[in-house]
Every structure is written in structure tokens, then in C-alpha cells.
Amino acid sequence: MTKKIMIVGVGGQGTLLASRILGNTVIGQGYDVKVSEVHGMSQRGGSVVTYVKYGEKVYSPIIDKGEADIILAFEMLEAYRALPYLKKGGKIIINNQQIDPMPVITGAAQYPENIDKKISGNADAIIVDALSLARQAGNTKAVNVVLIGVMAKNSEIEYEKWIETIKTTVPEKFLEVNLKAFDLGYNS
Amino acid sequence: MKKLLLGNAAVARGAFEAGVNVVASYPGTPSTEITEEIVKFNEVYAEWSPNEKVAAEVAIGASIAGGRAMSCMKHVGLNVMADPVFTVSYTGVNGGLVFCVADDPGMHSSQNEQDSRHYAKASKIMMLEPSDSSECKEFTKAAFELSEAFDTPVFVRLSTRVSHSQSLVELNDRVEIPLKEYEKNPAKYVMMPANAVKRHVDVEKRIADLTNFAETSEFNTVENNGSKIGVISAGIAYMYAKEALGDSVDYLKLGMVYPLPEKKIVDFAKNYDVVYVIEELDPIIESHCKALGITNIKGKDEFTLLGEYTPAMIKKAVLDENAPESIALGEAIPMRPPVMCAGCPHRGTFYVLKKLGLVVSGDIGCYTLGAVAPLQSVDTTICMGASVSAAHGMAKARGAEFNKKLVSVIGDSTFMHSGITGLVDIVYNKGNNTVIILDNSITGMTGHQQNPTTGYTIRGEETKQVNLIALCKSIGIDNVVVCDPFDIKAFEKVVKEEVNREEPSVIIAQRPCALLKTVKYTGHCKINDNCRNCKMCMKLGCPAITIKNDKVVIDNTQCNGCGLCLNVCPFGAIEKEEA
């Protein structure tokens, strides 16, 4: 059975690194893997969606509505937007950070209220304050690795395998902060 | 050894293993990473050329000289290089020559959704289409062999989901191919009428040979599952079909999309009650099937001409199965379009252009985002370079008064790509336009590639830097002004002066991209007690400045401390807070 994971967020939040850590961890488990990334214009502060799929044989790199086993959301509005992609019984991990999109900033639209509660009421949701944990780890940019930590805790893959990938994926000078961030997420 | 590789990285790997000698490209999403990955191999000469036409010609020259060569571009880049492409189809090659073109169905990062397969047919050049990273590597490798075997350039066609998906690839070693002999051969390489007439005969023979090759080639495979339904597909659409339909149908997968086989398709189609042709964008394969007289075909009557496909869409069309239930809460969710980054130098430029109410002839790059709210100053975006030449046309059509309200905006890389010729046109034909070159010291949108104005090569080696001031002056622009767009007052004054001048002028808006490692903004901006909530700063459209409980606040996680907002606040209510 193919496992389908969706990572959603705002361009610039580091979703790409998160999907690469995830992808490289699961190939270590002997699976076929596909990771679909977003490059180009959307990276400039737009909604970004990456898909990670693994299993015996993976064909399509994308995930359709109602299919995702796990959604890892870096921002609440993006979690809300991605919710229809969650399969029945799937899990959504949400960083409770709010980043206003331009239509909200200009007053053309309203940022929906209580997104976390609305999602929790309708799906198996884990709400994390990843920004505070990243700050605690020493760099607010480590939100992505905090969230990978939360996901790792909820996966069947051992702790050590994740650490191994982080060590080979993250540049040396950010390694300490990222390992700390991973642990804070893992133990949250 | 198997490695998780981006489709683009796998193309680069394939070219490397095939012994490619020269790669020349211009960046363009979704093709950029191919050439960036090539740079990792020291055995290969690689360059960013000023535009796709130049890049293609560099590759063509390398091939004629006996090397294996490749040029990579996005779909619209193929328009720019179309001129040499159509003729190199006639000359053929010496060393293997591959053009790798990446289409963008769904327009994730493009201005149109054109289908590059039309070019293969129009230029009579063979085209391969991989459907995952492993095929990206294998097909690219094979493309070099086929190029030399059939004396033809070869297209490898990608699409966004193939280029930007990672999947497993088996790595092999590079095979060093000795350069082919270089011999003077004007009958083959000098395409004047008498020679070209003869070469056209060779082109037609080659297409006939390649069609025969397509009949038996391993690129085109039949997968028999004993079904009554047949599917003909190619590229990423094949993967979607396979995911959606599994073993419930039979497949003819076409890895070679031009020229298409004839007998193979007819023989396949006659076995089924119905044959679905599943291809994103235009009905190229479908039209071919219909031309072969096949009638049990379903294609664009079931599937859209627009955007990307999904497995769910295919499942519904072929098996009439609905997508699984999904959670829908029914609340309207605000869109999150891309925006200029916090600290973006273009923000100062567009703030001033909007304030002055100018008509802005725009171009392709991050600054296309100057079209969206709240800055909303860009009036037109057509293609690379059109900002300059189209503004000249606007001024000629509407006259001097209109021209005083008109500017062009074009990035440094885009100006080098195809803005210069438009500027020459303005000088030559007595135009009076004001052109603003947004010099942010890098090619921004595609993710920081060097260009002739940055002073560095693709490998980061220092090189001569094109001097924009001297360049503009040398073609006859007497008024060239350099100004920092973050100095709002000075910039506004310069723009006012130049649009009112009775001569053409160039303003170089100079400030580096905020994402460059050399740019070190520190601290954060903060609202102090002087704030009267006038919301002047909101007009900047900075993602860090927002409203909470009807008060302006600056989000520390988004602000990079660039300080532009300090320059627009009339009350000194924004201050810098050092980290």
C-alpha cells in the first residue's frame, strides 16, 4: 500500500527541505519513492504543496483529494486549504502559525477564525507551536525540522534513521540547531 | 547505486554519463535545475547564455565541431531559439545534439501553456518524452546515441511534474566519447538555398526512417493485461493513468512522441472496444490516431485541453469511479498568490510608479508581481523583452503626452536576454521612452543564476561584467541615471524628470535581491507610539506589515529589517530594532 504524505505551507518556510528529509529517510527503508516539489513563482510567498509517496511501486507523484495519510501543514490557512486532501482516518499535523496572505493584508479577504478548532473537530489533528519550539532551538527558520520531528514521532520509522538523514541533508553549520529542533518536535 | 533524483537532475546525469562536452542554456522554470546540476560535473563545459537562441547556437556549434552538446530551456524559451532549431534540423549534427525542453501544464510559473510537441512536428526533429526520473536519465543518454545514428538533433520533452519530481535513479559511470572529426562540409552546414534544397530531401528521408524506428523501438511499449479497454499515453499522463487504472486496462506507452508509429498504433487500437488517448495539453497523439483512420478513440472529448491532469480525473473518465470522500467545511478560504519577498528591491520601484500613476509596460521576472494588489502598477506582460519594444509601440500609437505617463520595467537578466534590441529600436526610430532596468544583481525568479551583468560565470568564476551604463550610452541613450529604489524620494524625482524629458532615457534601479547571501539586512522594523494608523506603509504590500485589531503591526517572523517602510512613513512611526 502506498503511503501518501502532503507537506503544505507558504513559500519560503522550508517545505522543500522537509520533503527531502522525508524522501531520503524512506528510501533508506527500501521503498520506491516519489517526491513532487514546487519551484519557481509560487516559492515567492505563495501557497506551496509538496507530495511524498512511498510504497512497493509508486506511479503518480501527486496526491488527489481524500487520499493523504498525513498532511504536514506549516501554516494554519494552508492546513485549512489542504484539508480536503486528507483521507478518512488520516492525520493532520498543524503548525499554529498564522501568516496573512496578501488578500488579507489588503483587506480584500478575511483570515478565517479558529481554524485549528474547526479542523480538530473534523479530523485527527495535532496542533503544534512549531515557531516557539524553533525559537527555543535557536532559529525561527527551523520550523520545518520541528515539524519533521513531530511527524517522525507519529511514523513507524525509527528515531535514528531520521537523525541519519538530517545529518546528511542539512548543511554542517546549521546541524546543531536542526538536531535540537528535531528533538523538540519529536518530544513535543 | 540508486539515488533519489529530481527529473531535471536525472537529465543532467544522463547527459553526463553520455559524455556530453558542452551545455549552454538560459534559465527558465521548470528547466533550470538541469543546467545547475550539470555544473556539478567538472568534465562538462557549461554556461548560462544571454538567451535561449544564443544557447542553442552554442550547442549547435559544439555539435558541428564534433562534441556532444545539449541546450535546456522552458517551453517559451523554445520560441526564442526556434530560428536555429528549424535549420539545424536540415544540417543535422556531428556530435550528438540534444535540446531538452520543459513544458509547464497548469502554468505554475509561466505566461502560457504551449505544447512543445508541435515544435517537434513543425521542425521535423525527433522527440522523446520520459515519465519519471529514471527515464529522464535513460532517455537523455539514448538521445545522444540516436542523434548521431540518425544525424538529427533530438528533443527531450519534460513537463513540470517530471522535471520537479524526485524518484529513484540507478547511477552509472560516464563514458568519455572522443570528439568526432571536424571536416569542412558546406553542403551539409552552409544552409543557402542550393544546399538546403538537397538537405530537405534528407530530412524527409530521416523522418521516414525514424517512423520505421518508432514501430519497433523499445521507447514505445505495449502492456497487455487482457482488457477490453486500451489506453495510449505518454510522459507524466502515463503515470497518472497507471496510478488510476492499474491493470484494469491495456497500455501503449509512447516514449517517443515524434515521429509517432503508425502500424503499431493501428495494431494496438484494433484490439479494443474503446481506446483512450490520455495526453496533457493538445491532442497531438489523438490527431495522429484519427489521421490513421482509427475511430474507436476517445481523447479530448473526455479530457480537458487545459492544465494538468490527475489520476482522479482519469479514473472518473475511464472507469466512472468517483474520488474518495473528502472533508469539505464549506468556508471560503482566501487565496495566497505569490508576492514580492520582504526586502525585495522591486517594492520601492513599484511603490513610486503606482504613486505617479504611470502606465507600466512589464516583463518576465519576479517583478511581474508588480501587477498584483496592492502595488498593481504593471499594465502588460507578454514575453521576455517586450516591456521595451511594446512601450515603443504604445508611444508611437498614442503620442508624446501618453509617453510622459509611460515606463518600461525590465530586470537585468531579461534586459540582456532581449531588452537590448528593443532599446536599440527606440534610439534608431527616434523614440522617447523611459526604460527602467531593475538591476538586482542576479536572475531572481528562477532561483539566483548569474548573468552577463553580475560579473560571475555559472561556476561562480569572476568574469568581465557588462557595464549597463556604458552599454546604454554606446547605443545612443544619453540619459542614463542610476538610483536606489529604496530611496523613495530620490527615485520619484528621477522618474518624474526622465518621463518628462524629450529624449529616451534609462533609469537603472539598483539594489540587490534581498535573498542574496551577500545582502545582510539585520534586525526588524517596529511600529512605535507615533503611529496614527494612516496605513501609508500598507501600500507597500510588504508581507510582514499587516493589520491586527485594526492596528498596523509588523510580523517579526516575516520582516528582514530592510527598512523600506521607514522611508514611506510620514510620521516617523517605524523604527529599526537591532537583533
**Which residue segment(s) compose the domain that B55 sits in?**
2-216
Q: Which residues of A touch B34 (CB under 8 A)?
A: none
Q: Is residue B242 domain-shared with residue B162, that is, in the same domain?
A: no
Q: Which residues of B touch A107 (CB under 8 A)?
A: 547
Cβ atoms within 10 Å of B264's Cβ, excluding its own: 18
CB of B135 within 8 A of CB of B240? no
Provide the pLDDT confidence category of residue A1 given band limits of 50, 70 and 90: confident
Q: Is residue B188 domain-shared with residue B207, that is, in the same domain?
A: yes
Question: B138 to chain A nearest CA, in Å?
Answer: 17
Q: Is residue B224 domain-shared with residue B357, that is, in the same domain?
A: no
CB of B104 within 8 A of CB of B128? no
In a domain, B71, yes or no: yes
Q: Which residues of A touch B445 (CB under 8 A)?
A: 40-41, 44
Fold of A3-186: Pyruvate-ferredoxin Oxidoreductase; domain 3 (3.40.920)
What are the boundaries of each domain within chain A?
Answer: 3-186
Residue contact B312–A34, C-beta within 8 A: no
User: How many angstroms separate the CA atoms of B422 and B385, rounded?
Assistant: 7
What crossing angle do the helices spanning B346-355 and B488-500 adopt, rounded to 10°?
A: 60
User: How many angstroms separate the CA atoms of B35 and B26, rounded?
Assistant: 9
Q: Which residues of A touch B543 (CB under 8 A)?
A: 45, 99-100, 102, 105
User: How many angstroms separate the CA atoms of B323 and B315, rounded?
Assistant: 8
Question: How many residue pairs from chains A and B have C-beta atoms closer than 8 A?
Answer: 190
Q: Is residue B86 domain-shared with residue B206, that is, in the same domain?
A: yes
Q: Is residue B299 domain-shared with residue B269, that is, in the same domain?
A: yes
Q: Which residues of A touch B324 (CB under 8 A)?
A: 65-67, 87-88
Residue contact A65–B338, C-beta within 8 A: no
User: How many angstroms separate the CA atoms of A139 and B246, rounded?
Assistant: 45
In a domain, B336, yes or no: no
Residue contact A38–B366, C-beta within 8 A: no
Q: Is residue B204 domain-shared with residue B263, that is, in the same domain?
A: no
Q: Is residue B174 domain-shared with residue B82, that is, in the same domain?
A: yes
B-chain residue closest to A108, CA distance: B334
Q: Which residues of B touch A122 (CB under 8 A)?
A: 327, 329
Burial degree of B377 (CB within 10 A; 0-12, 13-18, 19+): buried
Mean pLDDT of A99-123: 95
Residue B300 belongs to domain with CATH number: 3.40.50.920
Give pLDDT, residue A30.
85
CB of A72 within 8 A of CB of A93? yes
Q: Which of B4, B546, B555 sits opposite A24 (nearest CB)?
A: B4
Residue contact A42–B338, C-beta within 8 A: yes
In a domain, B333, yes or no: no
A-chain residue closest to B308, CA distance: A62
Q: Is residue B506 domain-shared with residue B553, that is, in the same domain?
A: no
Give pLDDT, residue B328.
86
A-chain residue closest to B326, CA distance: A66
Burial degree of A104 (CB within 10 A; 0-12, 13-18, 19+): buried
User: How many angstroms separate the CA atoms of B42 and B27, rounded?
Assistant: 20
User: How many angstroms separate the CA atoms of B411 and B366, rounded?
Assistant: 9
Q: Which of B30, B165, B337 sits opposite A40 (nearest CB)?
A: B30
A-chain residue closest to B4, CA distance: A24
Give pLDDT, residue A41.
76
pLDDT digits (tens, 9 = 90+) for A114-159: 999 999 999 999 999 999 999 999 999 999 999 999 999 999 899 9
Among B216, B241, B265, where does a domain finish?
A: B216
CB of B72 within 8 A of CB of B48? no
Q: Is residue B352 domain-shared with residue B483, that is, in the same domain?
A: yes
Disruptive mutation site among B169, B327, B446 for chain A (greatest number of A CBs within 10 Å)? B327
- Number of domains forming the structure of chain B: 4
Query: For each of chain B's 579 residues, which pLDDT tens digit applies?
Result: 789 999 999 999 999 999 999 999 999 999 999 999 999 999 999 999 999 999 999 999 999 999 999 999 999 999 999 999 999 999 999 999 999 999 999 999 999 999 999 999 999 999 999 999 999 999 999 999 999 999 999 999 999 999 999 999 999 999 999 999 999 999 999 999 999 999 999 999 999 999 999 999 999 999 999 999 999 999 999 999 999 999 999 999 999 999 999 999 999 999 999 999 999 999 999 999 999 999 999 999 999 999 999 999 999 999 999 999 999 888 999 999 999 999 999 999 999 999 999 999 999 999 999 999 999 999 999 999 999 999 999 999 999 999 999 999 999 999 999 999 999 999 999 999 999 999 999 999 999 999 999 999 999 999 999 999 999 999 999 999 999 999 999 999 999 999 999 999 999 999 999 999 999 999 999 999 999 999 999 999 999 999 999 999 999 989 999 999 999 999 999 999 987
In a domain, B332, yes or no: no
Q: Which residues contact A41 (CB under 8 A, 6 or more apart)?
A: B29, B108, B109, B338, B445
For B2-48, what is the HEC assignment?
EEEEEHHHHHHHHHHHCCCCEEEECCCCCCHHHHHHHCCCCCCEEEE
Give pLDDT, residue A40.
74
Q: Which residues of A touch B29 (CB under 8 A)?
A: 39-41
Q: Which residues of B touch A24 (CB under 8 A)?
A: 4
Residue in the block written with cell 563514458: B175
Residue contact A104–B30, C-beta within 8 A: no
Q: Is residue B275 domain-shared with residue B384, that is, in the same domain?
A: no
Mean pLDDT of A65-76: 97
Mean pLDDT of A75-87: 97
pLDDT above 90 (res A5): yes
Among B466, B481, B510, where does a domain finish?
A: B510
In a domain, B324, yes or no: no
Work out the mean pLDDT of chain A and round it to a whole number: 94
pLDDT above 90 (res A42): no
Q: Is residue B146 domain-shared with residue B262, that is, in the same domain?
A: no
B-chain residue closest to A80, CA distance: B333
Q: Is residue B530 domain-shared with residue B405, that is, in the same domain?
A: no
Provide φ and ψ at A111, rounded to 5°: -75, 120
User: How many angstroms separate the CA atoms of B352 and B511, rounded?
Assistant: 15
